[in-house]
Chains A and B, each alone.
Chain A
């Protein structure tokens, strides 16, 4: 099985590096756009939410708080959107060669993960400019990203397998993401939500992840699942949601991937 491993790693490596090389093909600034995009997004949001709609005036380090949420949400959007269409987009490969099908989905999510890494560099730089001192709690971002990645991957597996036969799924998913953007409290602090509703937000694993990340990096005033829910079993809900999505998505994909070549 060692051979299988090295073979699959080689395929992943080539697919991810192809994505990365092709992405900024022909643009003058090339890879810099991976940094410039979150930077400009941040500039716009900063102006809007600091001066026009001051939602975050009570939140310490709100710019960083905001940017961190946006960057994590963008990763989730990119990974699931790319993931959903990955199998069909690579139909030429799937119809002609018997590489493990899951590699296609993983490679697209890894591309999104690389982008997240670049964006986070910008976030950290801004955190320093905002006068946040780096601390060991920043390292908490790593397990949180792993959790988010597993969640995105599970959803991608499910969506990509459904998309082969049912092309409407990407439109449906776009709408879900639109709703999810607001349901995940990305651009407003959770404190704006009436307190009795706050805990319901934590049914959504992304809220738990984003709020935890904000707590770890930007401000300890970020409401987290740990501070708003007393019942210790309920604390497990977001993790259970992630686990169920990952297992169900993976199994669904495994069951249908055999027939991708003839269904695409």
Chain B
């Protein structure tokens, strides 16, 4: 990046502690004891020495797991909280969207709510008048503006709130997981707006879980874990580190979880070459799906379905089995890293499902590394080759 860029936000060694309230149902006597003795406070460190800079025109991502302190950081930036120590300086006017439609009143008309919300975001009546038509048009709510907000569907309310948010623009915008709300069409609309911001060079700070969004829009990002800044850099590096953090957690959870194979008529396992059970392996490794069942003459074939844990169907195999009672299906799919699950369906001669086993077997795929850098990323890898051409 260029060397001398204008700084929009400076965060300098921010610490934030919260005083945890004593248990609310404490006795009358305890309350007085607490008032008199001020020293038995319980504090919780949420942010512990975070520093970074956001430059003008940045699409800046703040990433972290639940409870990492990123929402607290956001509220500090928005000026809702004050830091315990450290400094935040912001150049220009800032609009925080910790939530869309702050201050919306269901008893007011759509029109009144636009002005109310606008005022809270820092725009007076005159400024709102110039934006009003744009907002209504973008929300596609023209005929409904004189109706009370309580008569809007929830989708309409979100649309109105979002339109205000994107039209009532300031020098610096902060979004908190806005994408988590709304249906698919709405989410796409959000992403279109992000695209536009990026093209316009609007300074945006985005707090999110969604690594896809970070990779696609952000030009810089930070990763926060347990209140500490553990990575500043390219969105890709940050997103990868974030995924790794999550994966470590999931893998260790899976290893600790007890296999809960009840007295099923079938026994399903993921196995390696030596028929040992696997719970996680590196992308590109060959593995087997081992299935054994109580002999049943009705069963003509099994269908083995492979899903990503998030629900996408990856592939299915049909295995004819008449007369047998076990098999091992060997496969070497180039699955991207993530959590997978296998389900089994037993079919009869007419291809009707006799019984099925779902979500019992899970496994985890980790990155295939070439000197520390993943050779590829995404949901699957496809066959590819690279040719180099040296032009003189």
Point out residues on A near B: beta carbons under 8 Å: 6-7, 9-11, 13-15, 17-18, 21-22, 25, 92-99, 258-259, 261-262
Q: How many residues does chain B have at the interface if contact means C-beta atoms less than 8 Å apart?
A: 26
Provide the main secondary structure of the chain B interface.
loop
Contacting A at CB under 8 A, from B57-85, are 75, 78-82
**Residues of chain B within 8 A of A10, CB atoms compared:** 118-119, 123-125
Instruction: State whether B98 touches A96 (Cβ < 8 A).
Output: yes
Instruction: State whether A13 touches B82 (Cβ < 8 A).
Output: no
CA distance in complex: A12, B37 (Å): 40
Which of the candidate stretches B107-115, B182-190, B275-283, B307-315 sits at the interface with the other chain? B107-115
- Cross-interface CB contact of B81 among A9, A13, A21, A261, cutoff 8 Å: A261
**Residues of chain B within 8 A of A98, CB atoms compared:** 78-80, 96
CA distance in complex: A132, B76 (Å): 59
- Cross-interface CB contact of A14 among B80, B81, B116, cutoff 8 Å: B116
Point out residues on B near A: beta carbons under 8 Å: 18, 75, 78-82, 96, 98-99, 102-103, 105, 107-108, 112, 115-116, 118-125
**Residues of chain A within 8 A of B124, CB atoms compared:** 6-7, 9-10
Instruction: State whether A92 touches B122 (Cβ < 8 A).
Output: no
**Residues of chain B within 8 A of A22, CB atoms compared:** 105, 107-108
* Given A14-B115, A22-B105, A96-B99, 12 additional A-B pairs, CB 8 A: A10-B118, A10-B119, A10-B123, A10-B125, A11-B119, A13-B119, A21-B107, A95-B80, A97-B98, A97-B103, A97-B121, A99-B120
**Residues of chain A within 8 A of B82, CB atoms compared:** 258-259
Task: Give the one of A11, A22, A92, A258 with max B CB within 10 A.
Answer: A11
Smallest CB-CB separation from B93: which chain A residue? A3
**Residues of chain A within 8 A of B115, CB atoms compared:** 14
Instruction: State whether B80 touches A97 (Cβ < 8 A).
Output: yes
Smallest CB-CB separation from A93: which chain B residue? B103
Smallest CB-CB separation from A22: which chain B residue? B107
**Residues of chain A within 8 A of B75, CB atoms compared:** 261
Q: List 9 A-B contacts (CB under 8 A).
A: A7-B122, A10-B123, A10-B124, A14-B116, A21-B107, A22-B105, A92-B102, A94-B80, A97-B121
CB distance from A104 to the nearest CB of B (A): 11
Smallest CB-CB separation from A7: which chain B residue? B122
Smallest CB-CB separation from B77: which chain A residue? A98
CB distance from B110 to the nearest CB of A (A): 13
**Residues of chain A within 8 A of B118, CB atoms compared:** 10
CB distance from A13 to the nearest CB of B (A): 7
Instruction: State whether A93 touches B120 (Cβ < 8 A).
Output: yes
**Residues of chain A within 8 A of B96, CB atoms compared:** 96-98
CA distance in complex: A93, B102 (Å): 6
- Cross-interface CB contact of B102 among A6, A14, A96, A259, cutoff 8 Å: A96
Smallest CB-CB separation from A261: which chain B residue? B80
CA distance in complex: A95, B75 (Å): 9
